[in-house]
Structure 1
Amino acid sequence: MRYVQLRAFHYVATCGGFSRAAEELFLTQPAISDQVRKLEEEYDVLLFNRQRKQVALTAAGEKLLQITRRLFDSESQALQFLSESRALQSGNLRIVADSAHHLLHILAAFRKRYPGVRISVRAGNTESVVNSLYNYEADLGVLGELPTLTHFACELLSSSPITAFVSHRHELAKAGRLTFADLTHHPLVLRERGSKTRTKLEVAARSVGVELKPAIEAEGREAVREIVASGAGIGFVSLAEFGEDKRLVPIRLVPEDQMMMDEALICLRERRESKLVHAFFEIARKLRST
């Protein structure tokens, strides 16, 4: 087994095809195909199903990809270690967050201090944030809770209760407060399953004997916001994420104590001392303490 063969396999798997892998590695497609073929032949294993110019990982390929992700991430970390000063001048930092709202002040401070670092931020729910970190598809994550898994290092960003909200034209706009029993009489707009906000809301409701049933289920916080703004029902969000929107009115949910949302910055523990990750954590910690 040679390094070039593993590298060829890894790039085909992560890029989604031989042509794209060749482009990424500045090689020809036949050269990439030859390296993967030799790897398969040498160990008598099929790593890709090849059908009509499309490739898909086999079960063996999926397992090998888990290993090569760690291998090439470690290679990247070694490179960062050997060129630490350059990492903070022109590195790449990938973030996946259940809400970018909690990062805005940190991003601004980080960009001011390290203007050469390229940052990408994408949205995800709890499940996709955790999976992205495990699969080395992101360096940092933001979750609506403090993770209990020992694989993660974390920093608390904020803590706030879940609030209901409605359109300013809704009949409940001046209600001030709502109980779970009140919610059963109105259409509810809930996030997709896997959302921590929805999970905490449903658990708290069940604890007082109420089962919440969505009239509308929407993927993503912004989708819920727009649907509620149209007057279609009652939505839910952590108070810290409610923001300013004249179309919407927040309504306190009681009891609040079971529905506190902790937003946490997390990373795999093994990556905590990576130069860029460490720098981002330090800025987050300093801003929270001020």
Structure 2
Amino acid sequence: MRYSQIRAFHHVAVEGGFSRAAEALSLTQPAISEQVRKLESDYDVLLFNRNKKRVSLTPVGERLLICTKQLFEVENQITDVLSENRAAMEGTLRIIADSAFHLTSRLEAYRKRYPKVFISVRTGNSAEIIEALRNYDAEIGVVGSPNPGPDMEVRGLGQAPIIAFAAKKFFPEFPEKLTLEEIARYPLIFREKGSKTRQKLEDEAVRMGVNLSPAVEVEGREAVQEVVAAGAGIGFVSEAEFGYDVRLAKIAIADTNLSMSESLICLKQRSEVRSIRAFMAILAT
């Protein structure tokens, strides 16, 4: 295989089309198409499904894209090593978190040190976060698990108890605490499957012989908060992430010691990428 063929494939996959890849590489579309065609021919594989309007990756193409992401990241690391002493850090840092609460102070510190780095933040549950890191679709994760996997580098962010919460108008007299069995009598608002908070609650309910089932399932913590604030039922969250909302009040769960450990994570094999290393180091300063 030739470097030019791999580079052409990578840019078509990342840019989502041959014409955009040609523009990104300052080449003609026929030149890009020929490089990809030759790569497919040499290895007797189909990397893209082609139609008139768009291209999409085949399963082999999806696997190859993960490899080329690694390849070109190593290339960028080499450039970083050679230029680190003279160049201000630039580029993009993609963060996926189960809650933005744990990021606020660290984002501020990082932005002050590296103002030329563009930061994007999106939310997801623990399963989505780990998948995104492993697929090179994000650089940094914040996840509700102290042990996300042996391939992850982990920095602990502390732990907090899991609490219930409800709209202040939900109860005639708002309780400070309820048992899990008492909570189960009310309509419950759960996050989607894959949420560590939900998993811990369901496991504890099974252990205690309590039937804990959702009346409403909502994707994302912020969406749960809005549904609960409307008076639809009781939700659950780590106390550290409860924040402040004048519409809501928290309820201690009287008969459990459930807690959430939040961790800052990245792939070990990417831990020396300059932008990732710098963000992980924020915890040590």
TM bucket normalised to smaller: over 0.9
- Residue-by-residue CA offset, 1:169-210 (whole Å, 9 max, x unaligned): 011762111111112211111001111111111111111011
Which residue number in structure 1 is paired with residue 114 of structure 2? 114
What is the deviation of 1:230? 0.5
Which residue number in structure 1 is paired with residue 261 of structure 2? 262
Which residue number in structure 2 is paired with residue 176 of structure 1? 176
Q: Counterpart of 1:40 in structure 2: which amino acid?
A: E
Show structure 1 runs of 5+ residues with no match: none
Q: Counterpart of 1:268 in structure 2: which amino acid?
A: L
Give the aligned length. 285
Question: Quick one: structure 1 residues 249 and 81, their matched pair in 2 at CA, closer, same or farther if it must change by over 3 Å?
Answer: same
What is the deviation of 1:164? 0.5
Question: Quick one: structure 1 residues 93 and 87, their matched pair in 2 at CA, closer, same or farther if it must change by over 3 Å?
Answer: farther
Which residue number in structure 2 is paired with residue 164 of structure 1? 164
The answer on 1:58 being equivalent to 2:50 is no
- Residue-by-residue CA offset, 1:121-153 (whole Å, 9 max, x unaligned): 111111221111111121111101112421111
C-alpha separation between the residues in 2 aligned to 1:273 and 1:57? 29
C-alpha separation between the residues in 1 aligned to 2:136 and 2:251? 39
Question: Quick one: structure 1 residues 109 and 167, their matched pair in 2 at CA, closer, same or farther if it must change by over 3 Å?
Answer: same
Which residue number in structure 2 is paired with residue 221 of structure 1? 221
What is the deviation of 1:256? 3.7
C-alpha separation between the residues in 2 aligned to 1:40 and 1:84? 37
What is the deviation of 1:38? 1.1
C-alpha separation between the residues in 2 aligned to 1:173 and 1:108? 40
Which residue number in structure 1 is paired with residue 32 of structure 2? 32
Question: Quick one: structure 1 residues 229 and 86, their matched pair in 2 at CA, closer, same or farther if it must change by over 3 Å?
Answer: farther
RMSD (CA atoms)? 1.7
The answer on 1:279 being equivalent to 2:278 is yes
Which residue number in structure 2 is paired with residue 243 of structure 1? 243
Question: Quick one: structure 1 residues 66 and 90, their matched pair in 2 at CA, closer, same or farther if it must change by over 3 Å?
Answer: closer
C-alpha separation between the residues in 2 aligned to 1:210 and 1:88? 56
C-alpha separation between the residues in 2 aligned to 1:173 and 1:228? 17
C-alpha separation between the residues in 2 aligned to 1:21 and 1:211? 54
- Residue-by-residue CA offset, 1:21-47 (whole Å, 9 max, x unaligned): 223323332221111111111222111
Contact 1:190 1:236 in 2 (8 A): yes
The answer on 1:2 being equivalent to 2:2 is yes
- Judge which range, 208-217 or 44-53, deviates more: 44-53
C-alpha separation between the residues in 1 aligned to 2:215 and 2:172? 17
Contact 1:155 1:285 in 2 (8 A): no
Show structure 2 runs of 5+ residues with no match: none
Contact 1:186 1:234 in 2 (8 A): yes
Question: Quick one: structure 1 residues 86 and 174, their matched pair in 2 at CA, closer, same or farther if it must change by over 3 Å?
Answer: farther
Partner of 1:52: helix, strand, or coil?
coil
TM (norm. structure 2) is 0.94
C-alpha separation between the residues in 2 aligned to 1:86 and 1:232? 56
